[in-house]
Amino acid sequence: METEHTLYYICKYTPLELLEGLGAHTKAWNDMPAGFGRSEQLLGSNICGFGKALLDACLSGQIHELVLTSCCDTIRSLADVLRAEGTLDFLYLLDVPHREDDCSVDRFARELRRLMEAYETYSGRILSRERFLAALQKSNGAAAENGRREGCSAVPGQTSGPYLSVLGGRMGEQLFAQTAEAMPLPLANHTCVAGRTLPAGFLSGLPAAASPDDALLRWYAGVLLRQLPCMRMVDRTGRKPLFNDPNLRGIVYHTIRFCDYYSFEYSEVKTHPDIPLLKIETDYTRSSGGQLQTRLEAFAEEIQSTESARHHHAGQNAAHQPRTQTAYFAGIDSGSTSTDVVILDGTGRIIGRTVIPTGAGARISADKALQQALRETNLRREDIRRVVSTGYGRAAIQDSDQSITEITCHAKGAHFLDPSVRCVIDIGGQDSKVIVLDESGQVAGFVMNDKCAAGTGRFLEMMAGTMEMSLDEISRHGLKYREDITISSTCTVFAESEVVSLIAENKDTDDIVHGLDKAVASKTASLVARAGGSAPFMMTGGVAKNEGLVRALTKELKSAPIISDMAQLCGALGAALYAAEL
Amino acid sequence: MSAAEFLGTVVEKTNPDHPAASRRILRTGWEVQDYLFQHHPHPESFPADQYLAKFMMDAMLQPLKDPDHSCIVSIFTPCEMVQEAGLHPYNVEGFSCYLSASFAGGICTRKAEQDGISDTLCSYHKTFVGAAMNGLLPKPRCILYTSLACDANLLTFPKLAAYYQVPSFCIDVPADASEDAVAYVRDELVGARRFLEETTGRSIEEDALKARVKRSRESLLAYEQVQRDRADRFVPADLVTPLYSAMTANILLGTPEEERYVRMLQEDLRSALPKRGKHIYWMHTIPFWSDAVKKYFLFQDSAQIVACELAQVCSPDFDTDDPMLGMAQRLVRNAINGPAERRIANGIRHARDARADGVIWFNHWGCRHTLGISRLAKQAFEDAGFPTLLLDGDGCDRAHGGEGQTSTRIGAFLEMLRND
């Protein structure tokens, strides 16, 4: 139960057992807010969202007692700001060494003593050895239970069997619940504070009962520092078991924007070819949830597909079952800009296709597009045996048998159009995606741009607006450039200001558009590299019609992407193919 | 297209297929600049600052010329031991600035981001990591770094050690300035010394080290005096000289060259004209590449940047009889270490020494600590009587521009100072 005297902590190196020995009721703080408040003003915008969320919680009176650790620059700054604000009853910044050698253990023991003395002064209570030992016994029990894998914390309650893991920067409670719900296998949380597990059997080294407090603290400091290391520690080899467990079936790798620690680990993990990996980045607010749902579902589909292959069920699905001539199947791709429908006959032949603007409502547009496709193919709704929906609005479409993410559908569609394709590039209105395919057309991995418009269709749309052009017009310019302008800003807002400056300098429209094409191509090529994509490439989505951009991308990728006349309908096609296989 | 832009274009075009050739081209470009610094220095600069430009350029050229006798360091690594071990230290901030100035920074940041490194990482570090992966940064003999003063140190250096497969050593610096902390860091430095001796096979002589640490202290004391002396003088100033000072006062501290620079500056100041325009004390790094900043501070009579904070983060108050103890005290008492109030108080003291008319606190994109405490700092500087501008930007990466905003903010700030 939370009270005014709940002592909150944020880091797994916090000496919880010692604090409980001092009579504190400890609780990890890991709550994702809907948005940020005064913290934006006090800490600034370009700071890790966790730090801002925690500051808001302190300022709102939600937190009265807090122990921080010197885990990162944001938390150090947070401690400075909180000290200046002076709103907390108890605030302590515990300096944790970056190593676990003997000198560091001695130093940490001194730090623990200082914390202990500060809390004793604040609370008026002194350390109870009995309570401290009881807390240690409790943690020892948890460590034994979780000690299934050597040197690695495990999934609580799961003693064996396949599982997925969340790694990286801390994941708030709400996002973890959302992720766990989307996944087809149990999900373990090994991010930051959630990974707090003292080493298995640590209690066997407990000093004798008569030993002085200093000996006890020194021993305890060593136990804390010997936990599975986080990325701030100098020696991180202890993290390897997190990636090498034979039961591990996939990793959701989470980073928080403006927290740099875990992008370095991600850059290493992503080269691990055996484990499906999903990288997601959030700003630590709940608003990220909706944007991430597509990725989580697509990853779940990828895991299911991998698991099926593992159990030798591949090839036994409906795709290889004979189709009947009389059945028809429809795929609806409800995108942010357009709603597309493809109808297949029982042999897999495309007999109908429609593209209409999405307009105000995904459901209404989907109905309209389907009706239009039916009219054009002289079919009735009851002639369609199954409908699969995909795209951003897929969940809103009631008239479908199943919804599948656009990532899986684009891969399916692209493989159908050209089985040689190994990488699909979809620059959409809301986001950009790069999907890597294996030989059988299954999704082998994918990345999407994070919460930023740079490199998306939206970026081009905004720039077109700045130049008082339509998207169609901007796609026709940029081919006959004379000056090779570089738009250097990666941020959409700054890029817009660069474009305004170029217009003011009277630069030629073709030259500016070429600069914009290069900027999008460069950002896209970065995504391709992050995904590990290789040629042959296929470009899907409406932006594939932009010749200037395609040319710039060809230069970046050193390979011309395949552009099918079905490029815009690739997602709907994939959905229709899945409808035929269900 | 300027010569630097041309160099960057050629390096960028050559690099993907011929990284070694692109490194040679970069080196040639820097050697040309080194020659120009020696024989055609900027005529408006004081002789001391002309000397400093050449001295700093030499330091950055060394790893390209002789990588096997070079050591990557973090900016606050006490480098007297590195120098005594016969290695040339070079740091992230310095090398990345030179890459950026050569218009070769973009290919480095892109490379790092393609590798999965966050686009919000400090651009000095991102450029450096990308340069390693592009082959522009040669393989060093070893890496010696401190946990002071930013998260990026704990990421960049281990990554590069693994990438190059070279030995590395981290000096862990506690946040508090206690005697316990000094003793702890002294032990760390003893370990670092052993590491350098084992890596190079060369023993570090105690007397020579003592002489270097003594020279470090004298240079720091002399620089403090220089800053007081320049308070009522006019020193023609550009954007890079304060940055050079910030680098040499850290990684090249203890060298005869650094001592010579400070002595030359003392000499130059004797014949300097009376103060003109406004004196600005600059906190954190300077976006030397920005035309908007150049417009107000590049050899202008109306305003000059009189110092960069990073040149004055080491207190000269340390022991010289026991060099290991002295260097430990310097590290632990570094103004950037520990709580924000220490850093802010240090900035106020030095702004006061230079009798600054105003302070610019530069919120370098990617430096979380500088960003996070900027509001506290503004309040504290203003309470101490220094009008303060919080300026957002990037010290290294042109892609994080916003030149229009920069120009308006600095312009308005200087107008405000003139109207006071």
Residue of B nearest to A39 (CA): B372
Q: Which of B113, B159, B187 sits opposite A526 (nearest CB)?
A: B113
User: Mean pLDDT across chain A, nearest whole number?
Assistant: 86
Name the amino acid, one letter, at B20: A
Alpha carbons A147 and A156: distance in angstroms, whole number: 10
Q: Please say whether the beta carbons of A354 and A373 come within 8 A.
A: yes
Whether the pLDDT of residue A323 is over 60: the answer is no
Which residues neighbour B219 within 8 Å (Cβ) at sequence distance 6 or greater? B249, B253, B254, B258, B259, B262
- Concatenate the DSSP letters of all residues of A7-24 into one string: EEE--TTS-HHHHHHTT-
Q: Tokens standing for B407?
A: 């120009």
Q: What is the pLDDT of residue A322?
A: 45
The residue ranking higher by pLDDT, B77 or A457, is B77
- Cα(A489)–Cα(A432) distance, rounded to whole angstroms? 18
Cross-chain Cβ contact A84/B147 below 8 Å: no
Q: Is the pLDDT of residue A318 over 70?
A: no
Distance from CA of A98 to the nearest CA of B (A): 6
A82's enclosing H/E stretch is helix A73-85
Angstrom distance (rounded) from CA B115 to CA A529: 7
- Cβ contact (<8 Å) for B116 and A267? yes
Q: Which tens digit of pLDDT belongs to each residue from A259-299?
A: 989 989 998 888 776 789 999 999 999 877 777 888 899 89
Long-range contacts at A525-528 (CB < 8 A, ≥ 24 apart): A525/A553, A525/A556, A525/A557, A525/B114, A526/A455, A526/B110, A526/B113, A526/B114, A527/A425, A527/A432, A527/A433, A527/A434, A527/A447, A527/A448, A527/A449, A527/A455, A528/A423, A528/A425, A528/A434, A528/A557
Chain A neighbors of B150, CB-CB under 8 A = 73
> Can you name the CATH fold of A426-563?
Nucleotidyltransferase; domain 5 (3.30.420)
Phi first, then psi, for residue B416 (nearest 5°) are: -60, -45
* Alpha-carbon span B371 to B34, nearest angstrom: 35
B155–chain A nearest CA distance, Å: 7
For A173, the token pair is: 């409670």
Structural domain count of chain B: 1
- Residue carrying structure tokens 């990617």: B366
8 Å CB contact between A265 and A279:
no
Amino acid residing at B309: E
Closest residue by Cα to residue B161 from B139, B180, B183: B139
Gap between the Cα atoms of A486 and B398, Å rounded: 11
The CA distance from A83 to A96, in Å, is: 19
Contact list in A for residue B401 (CB cut-off 8 A) is: 488-489, 494, 498
- Closest Cα of chain B to A159: distance in Å? 33
Give pLDDT tens digits for B192-218.
999 999 999 999 999 999 999 999 999
Asked if the A164-197+235-310 domain carries CATH number 3.40.50.11900, the reply is yes
Q: What is the pLDDT of residue A150?
A: 40
pLDDT digits (tens, 9 = 90+) for A1-22: 566 679 999 999 999 999 999 9
Secondary structure of residue A200 in the 3-state scheme:
coil
Closest by Cβ to B170, choosing from A48, A95, A234: A234
* pLDDT confidence of residue A95: 97
pLDDT tens digits, one per residue of A461-479:
888 888 888 777 887 777 7
In the CATH hierarchy, which top-level class contains the domain A321-418+571-581? alpha beta
First to last CA, chain A: 48
Which residue on chain B is closest to A281 by alpha carbon? Answer: B118
Nearest CB neighbour to A46, from listed B116, B184, B365: B365
**SS3 state of residue A561:** coil
B175 contacts A490? CB cut-off 8 A: no
Closest residue, chain B, to A267 (C-alpha): B116
pTM for the model stands at 0.83
Greater pLDDT, B358 or A245: B358
- Residue limits of CATH 3.40.50.11900 in chain A: 164-197+235-310
**Per-residue confidence band for A324, with pLDDT thresholds at 50, 70 and 90:** low
- What ipTM does the predicted assembly reach? 0.95
Determine if residue A541 is left, alpha or beta; phi over 0 gives left, psi from -120 to 50 gives alpha, anything else beta: left
A168 sits in the region (left: phi over 0; alpha: psi -120 to 50; else beta) called left
Helical packing angle, B206-229 and B340-353, nearest 10°: 60
Closest residue of chain B to A557, computed from CA coordinates:
B16
Question: Would you call A260 and B155 a contact, using CB atoms and an 8 Å cutoff?
Answer: yes
Instruction: Write out pLDDT tens, residues A505-545.
Output: 888 888 888 888 888 888 888 888 878 889 999 998 778 88
Query: Which parts of chain B sit beneath pLDDT 70?
Result: 401
- pLDDT at residue number A376: 87
Mind telling me how many Å the CA of B113 is from chain A's nearest CA? 7
Q: Which fold has domain A6-157+199-225?
A: Rossmann fold (3.40.50)
The whole-angstrom separation of Cα A42 and Cα A283 is 17
| Confidence band of A155 (pLDDT split at 50, 70, 90) | very low
Q: What is the pLDDT of residue A68?
A: 98
pLDDT at A325: 55
Residue B98 confidence (pLDDT): 97
pLDDT band with cut points at 50, 70 and 90 for residue A450: low
Instruction: Give the per-residue pLDDT at A153.
Output: 41
User: For the sheet containing A90-94, what is the strand order?
Assistant: A25-28, A6-9, A65-69, A90-94
Rounded Cα distance between A165 and A13, Å, is: 21
pLDDT of residue B402: 75
Q: Select from A46, A80, A491 the Cβ nearest to the Cβ of B373.
A: A80
Q: Tell me how far apart the alpha carbons of residues B97 and A338 are, in angstroms, rounded to a whole number.
A: 45
Q: What is the mean pLDDT of residues A229-255?
A: 90
Of the candidates B114, B172, B403, the beta carbon closest to that of A98 is on B172
